Structure 1
């Protein structure tokens, strides 16, 4: 048992978040009258505890919910779900697949060739992840009661060997912009924000420093993606809806309530204020 980790669990959520915010962001966290995006995300962790959110962060359970909202055709096929790594029958899985934990963020394993799969390493990784309650690392309440499981999904890539993800910032069903992630296979990942009309929004350092005429090709299905993100984010003060595009077809990824756990120092200060103004806390019933 990690004694330090167990002791951290005993710290009240508001105190834990204030200390983490000061350490990561370098300034005090204003929970009494939050103004910025990052501050309001911390406030939402403490006070906006809609039971539906537990389903929406569960990478297995959310698929059924999303399918009811937008249709089965947008859902990446699930190949299996298990409580323990030892329960996985790899003989029944295809040569390529993706393993994910349902209860956290970042625990996944991409298998492009089953004959080369390091099962021992994968077992260590997932066994450790299944024991961890992701809630305690950033006090993101929706994760607290998610049942830890492993799912296998169909491996996806387009004809160019890519599977591009698009992250939509949504405020009560209104989609402000999409963040496009480029060159994920390189060390220098690039992020750019665009609005619905495909105008560059200078919300981060890279966008601010981009040339006046900078753009990238707009995917043909982008307008439909904005519509899907709006539908999935209805009645939620803020959520980032992650979608994928593969050879012109759209797939649902996940719902992210607290990007970077509300400690996003990469946003420009003016963006932190701009996004913060879009979250109306007055309409939220506090727990």
Structure 2
């Protein structure tokens, strides 16, 4: 391992100055981070997973993040990069909730806003009633997502509401969601969740269970059962996710699970607002090892002035720690996609 003295003094000075300036510019975010995570971050030269998320929120303003954070625009993105993957149908979209056709709220559907997270209303049998839905949508339309945690990619999104088909998710049988963590085209791990059974489990890309729990379902009795169908879908998701992620340095690719196949879910740029944790430290260490900031949009771009000095210093630090970055290979899907029929064995 190289000693600290091998790192040029000018780069050490630039990164130290950048840390001070970023901290002074965003004191509330830095203090909030320290309270949540239990340590003071280095937002200028991050090394830990949550520090890298903070750096992304403050420094790495990749224009693609806006598309990926827009719940409508991301559907077109997924269709373009991965046409084999089914995308839930949008039944209606618009700016005024009063314009939603009444017939769409009488059956089963999901009503969403496109400019934030946790903005979903599940409609079944006319409930919730139309007036309640419209009131909630108007509150969401007046809300600007991401201000508190500086999740800037939400800010340019033009707010809309839309009605989406309700998929028959395989809750209680397989899972409802599969979430894949990808760093520079490499799958770090996969999380399967059953929101109906309130269970989850972590897997490697081959479908082998990993030790550890996640913060949403921390107890051991909340471990999701491992079935052949679940393992097959996890392997498929692990093949698809790098293609969806492209050459991004880090992103989480989500899938919805039905009894027949995977559907595209969300692409998450700021997992848990940047404060995600796992009980198994090896999982976070693996992501920290694979997340190369020199694959980020910020360090791939040309800069001038003080920004150039900072970018050069941070690139040098990344090179010293990890060596020269290899080009990100874009994965290909291996069809067919779907749950295998046990009778075909």
Q: Which TM-score bucket, shorter chain as reference?
A: 0.7 to 0.9
> Quick check: 20-29 or 88-97, which moved more?
88-97
Q: Deviations over 1:92-147 (max 9, x none)?
A: 55611000110000011001112x33222222221111111112022112111111
CA distance in 1 between partners of 2:24 and 2:170 (Å): 49
Offset, 1:278: 1.4
2:166 to 146, 155, 160: 155
Decide which structure has the larger Cα Rg and report it: 2
Q: Does 1:55 align with 2:73?
A: no
2:239 pairs with 1:230: no
The residue aligned with 2:154 is: 143
Q: Which residue of 2 aligns with 1:175?
A: 187
Is residue 288 of structure 2 the alignment partner of residue 276 of structure 1? yes
Match of 1:45 among 57, 62, 65: 57
Instruction: State how 1:239-278 maps to structure 2 within 5 Å.
Output: 239-278=251-290
Task: Give SS of 2:118's match.
Answer: coil
The answer to whether the 8 Å contact 2:178/2:234 transfers is: no
For the structure 1 residues 74 and 85, does the alpha-carbon distance in structure 2 shift closer, same or farther, using more than 3 Å as the test? Answer: same
Q: Which residues of structure 1 form unaligned runs of 5+?
A: 1-10
Whole-Å separation in 1 of the counterparts to 2:31 and 2:249:
25
Contact 2:190 2:234 in 1 (8 A): no
Q: Which has the higher contact order (CA 8 A, sep 6+)?
A: 1
Measured after TM superposition, the shift of residue 91 of structure 1 is 2.6
Q: Residues 174-213 of structure 1: matches in 2 within 5 Å? A: 174-182=186-194, 184-185=195-196, 189-204=198-213
- Whole-angstrom distance in 2 between the partners of 1:267 and 1:38: 14
Q: Distance in 2 between matches of 1:150 and 1:129?
A: 9
Rounded to whole Å, the distance in 2 between the matches of 1:13 and 1:106 is 29
The answer as to 2:232 corresponding to 1:217 is: no
The aligned counterpart of 1:165 is 177
TM-score relative to the length of structure 2: 0.71
Which residue is 1:29 aligned to? 41
How far the C-alpha of 1:210 sits from its partner, in A, is 5.6
2:139 equivalent to 1:128: yes
| Structure 2 residue runs without a partner (length 5+) | 1-22, 300-306, 308-345
- 1:5 alignment counterpart: none
Cα RMSD of the aligned pairs, angstroms, is 2.8
